[in-house]
């Protein structure tokens, strides 16, 4: 018996047919889908302990090993050398992507203080959506005794041609947009 995440089943059973009816697609392969989720976090270079904690936290949140992104050139204004780690990222695809999206929607976002919904204007014009999170503490995997309030950026990459279609897709998945 093969395991299939809840949101993946929802996409295959309901969301595809809602799209086909609303946007009048001729072929089911034209229907937009979520291709990947990228979690990115900029890090402070001053403390090596922060670097390792951030790497561990992103790996805990995503359920997948994260990697360092290193600087490509020297930048004297930031006291940065080529090859120095400046951020951490992880790319989620397939089942892990759907599991993360489900945990984000059902567990993490409701834990945000005074949550009104996510900004509906954060699309990039090509069907991708960016969501900034100020604190990692909203994820239950993170220990609250760590005094790190490091934010992160989550990018939802779709193969939709227009932002309207991408917004409708994320709306059907259950991402709570502001009214």
Q: Give the Cα separation of 52 and 143 in Å (integer).
A: 15
Query: What 3-state DSSP class applies to 47?
Result: coil
Q: 9: part of which helix (H) or strand (E)?
A: helix 6-10
pTM of the complete model: 0.82
pLDDT in tens, 45-64: 666 677 777 778 888 888 88
Residue 176 has pLDDT above 60, yes or no: yes
Domains and CATH numbers, the chain: 26-173 (3.30.1440.10)
């Amino acid at each position: 018996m093969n395991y299939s995440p809840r949101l993946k089943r929802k996409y295959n059973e309901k969301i595809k047919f809602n799209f086909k009816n609303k946007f009048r697609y001729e072929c089911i392969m034209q229907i937009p889908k979520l291709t990947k989720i990228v979690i990115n976090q900029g890090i402070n270079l001053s403390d090596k302990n922060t670097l390792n904690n951030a790497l561990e936290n992103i790996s805990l949140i995503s359920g997948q090993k994260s990697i360092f992104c290193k600087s490509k050139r020297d930048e004297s204004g930031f006291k940065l050398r080529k090859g120095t780690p400046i951020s951490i990222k992880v790319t989620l695809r397939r089942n892990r992507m759907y599991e993360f999206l489900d945990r984000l929607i059902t567990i993490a976002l409701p834990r945000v203080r005074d949550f009104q919904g996510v900004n509906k204007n954060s699309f990039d014009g090509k069907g991708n959506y960016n969501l900034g999170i100020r604190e990692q503490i909203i994820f239950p995997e993170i220990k609250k005794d760590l005094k790190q309030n490091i934010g992160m950026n989550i990018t939802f990459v779709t193969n939709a041609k227009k932002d309207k279609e991408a917004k409708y897709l994320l709306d059907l998945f259950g991402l709570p947009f502001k009214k």
